[in-house]
Amino acid sequence: MQELLCTRVHRAVAHTELDDQSYNRTTRLIILYSCRFIGSRDYRKAVKWVFPHNKKIRTGLMDLKDDLDYSIYKNDLYRAAHYLCTQPKCTIEAMKAASKIYKIEVEDLLLLKKLLSIAEKRTIAALPAAPGTYSKQQVAALIKHIDPITRNIVFRQLAFIFNHDPMMEGADDLIEQLRTQAIKVIREYEVANITEDHMIKNTVVSVQNHAVNIAESFGRSKRQPLMRTSKRDTFREVWYLNIHDFAITQVKVSPNPKLRIQKGDNLYVMVQDCETDDVLLVQCKRLYETQCEAETAASLRKAGKYSKRKRYVDLSPQSFDEFQQTCISIDTALDEESVPLIQKIPDELASADLSADTTDESKHLVNRLTPRLREFADIILNPEGNDFFIEWSDKTNKIFSSTELKRLGKAACDYIGISKPKLKMELKLTSANLWSQEARNLIVR
């Protein structure tokens, strides 16, 4: 015999004293949910209505619903209810027979008789008899049948999660979540008179929908372990090789077609030097995606070898669209020496012993700014000391130095996720006594 429904309810409410009215409402709610009179959303709303001020009980009853979704008790309760409703009279002998067939205690069958209305009993009696329970072997065979589809969904649609979320050990975690959802669907539809092909289709559709829900949940503000960062520049930064003196400079290319001239088979593009802001008219074939490619082409030309490429650089504006993690484990190694983050967190007791005279003036400046400006100032004042910024710049191939403030500032804005005009506006709102005259001139420029 399966566990009594009253035992399940009392365990769900964590031994909280329930009056008779609340207990009857809760038990009837579970019976209605098991007999498919209400769905998950209505069940959740009803639980909130019965217990509006007790979050602990609501959580317990929702956990009980989840347990029922993956067990055969809910379906056996439905089959027993259908058996009793189709009998001429719901006698004690009929209850004993149903208890023996469906392994349901007679006490639970008495609750079915007591809490279901006459109209609900007639509705159940009008339905066809439910087929037998899917065995463990049948469930395993069905899961194995759709497993290629499940893996394909995970690796093609959810790869950004297990690649960026530090709480995910790999794709297997998401595959198991989708398999669990498949079991839930099987238990939901096994009482319906549908073919095995229909069951497979329902399971596949549910797994696909659940994958969409998983993907969307990783962007919600309530959790947000990942943050989607999207940006599209108004230009593209490429590297120009001057074949006369073999100088390599970084330039900006505009997508405006009016700044391009076709001369025979050669395309000339108007570019702007990133350092001097000088405007140059150069051949498109002299532009390279990275500095390394430009240096390789220069070395080939110096050696008198053929340096022409099969594919030229894309002149469309560069875009940035990916998911970045917003949290990190304190046990994560941050450098080649495998030193975890927890060992780099300063000791508050040790730092409190330092005198105020030995504190760096730049730290006073950083501590008096807003969080976003504080992070920006910390990077500008000491870029090599920010391990997270250095790791990010290595992954995104950002090349800068502490002397190139313009390029360093742009990289810091990209790292924080703020535009330069908005950053300048926030800097203008800070107190003037924080900055020197030279710094103020740079801000308002």
Domain count of the chain?
Answer: 4
Residues with Cβ within 8 Å of residue 281, at least 6 apart in sequence: 261, 268, 269, 270, 271
Among 148-157, 199-208, 378-387, whose mean pLDDT is lowest?
A: 378-387
CA distances to 44, 75, 127, 130, 165 from 35, rounded to whole Å, are 16, 8, 11, 11, 39
Residues 300 and 368 in one domain: no
- Of 205, 225, 245, the residue at which a domain comes to its end is 225
Phi, psi angles (nearest 5°) of residue 240: -105, 130
What pLDDT band is residue 257 in, cutting at 50, 70 and 90? confident
Three-state DSSP at 69 gives helix
Q: In terms of domains, do 212 and 156 share one? A: yes
What gap in Å lies between CA 140 and CA 151, rounded to an integer?
Answer: 16
Does residue 325 lie in a domain region? no
Contact status, residue 16 vs residue 56, Cβ threshold 8 Å: yes
Let me know whether 345 and 296 are in one domain. no
Task: Report which of residues 367 and 371 the model is more confident about.
Answer: 371
Would you say residue 327 lies in a domain? no
Evaluate whether residue 384 is within a structural domain: yes
- pLDDT one-digit tens code per residue, 239-253: 898 888 888 899 988
DSSP-assigned letters across all residues of 88-103 = SS--HHHHHHHHHHH-
330 is a domain residue: no
Q: Are residues 206 and 273 in the same domain?
A: no
Q: Which amino acid is at 394?
A: D
Examine the fold and report which residue of 83, 105, 126 is the final residue of a domain before the chain moves on.
126
Query: Looking at the predicted structure, is the pLDDT value of residue 275 above 70?
Result: yes
Residue 258 lies in a domain: yes
- Residue 294 one-letter amino acid: A
* CA pair distance 338, 352, nearest whole angstrom: 28
Please calculate the CA angle 115-118-119 and round it to the nearest 5 degrees.
Answer: 110
Could you report the per-residue pLDDT of 67-114, keeping only the tens digit for each?
A: 888 888 888 888 888 888 888 888 888 888 888 888 888 888 888 888
77 and 102 co-located in one domain: yes
**Do residue 206 and residue 283 come from a single domain?**
no
Instruction: Determine the longest span between alpha carbons in the chain, in angstroms.
Output: 103
User: Which domain-ending residue is among 225, 250, 279?
Assistant: 225
Q: Considering the domain boundaries, does residue 191 fall inside one?
A: yes
Alpha-carbon span 231 to 216, nearest angstrom: 20
Instruction: Please state, as a whole number, how many other Cβ atoms lie within 10 Å of the Cβ of residue 283.
Output: 15
Asked if residue 323 belongs to a domain, the reply is no
| Residue 353 within any structural domain of the chain | yes
Q: Are residues 160 and 214 in the same domain?
A: yes
Phi, psi of 302, rounded to the nearest 5 degrees = -65, -30
Q: What is the pTM of this model?
A: 0.49
DSSP string, 328-386: --TT-B-STT--BGGGGSPPHHHHHTS-GGGS-HHHHHHHTS-HHHHHHHHHHH-GGG-
346 and 402 in a common domain: yes
Task: List residues bridging with 103 in a β-sheet.
Answer: none
Q: Give the contacts of 101 (CB within 8 A, at least 6 positions apart).
A: 80, 83
Tell me: the pLDDT tens digits for 15-26?
677 788 888 888
Structure-model confidence comparison of residues 153 and 378, the more confident one: 153
The predicted-structure confidence for 287-327, as pLDDT tens digits, reads as follows 888 888 888 888 888 888 776 776 778 778 777 666 666 56
Q: Is there a single domain that holds both residue 36 and residue 71? A: yes
- Answer yes or no: do 363 and 258 share one domain: no
Q: What mean pLDDT is reported for the chain? A: 79
Q: Tell me, yes or no, whether 10 and 93 share the same domain.
A: yes
Both 165 and 182 in a single domain?
yes
> Which phi and psi (to 5°) does residue 68 adopt?
-65, -35
Higher pLDDT, 405 or 62: 62
HSE-CB at 326 with a 13 A cutoff on CA atoms is: 14
Domain holding 301, by residue range, is 234-317
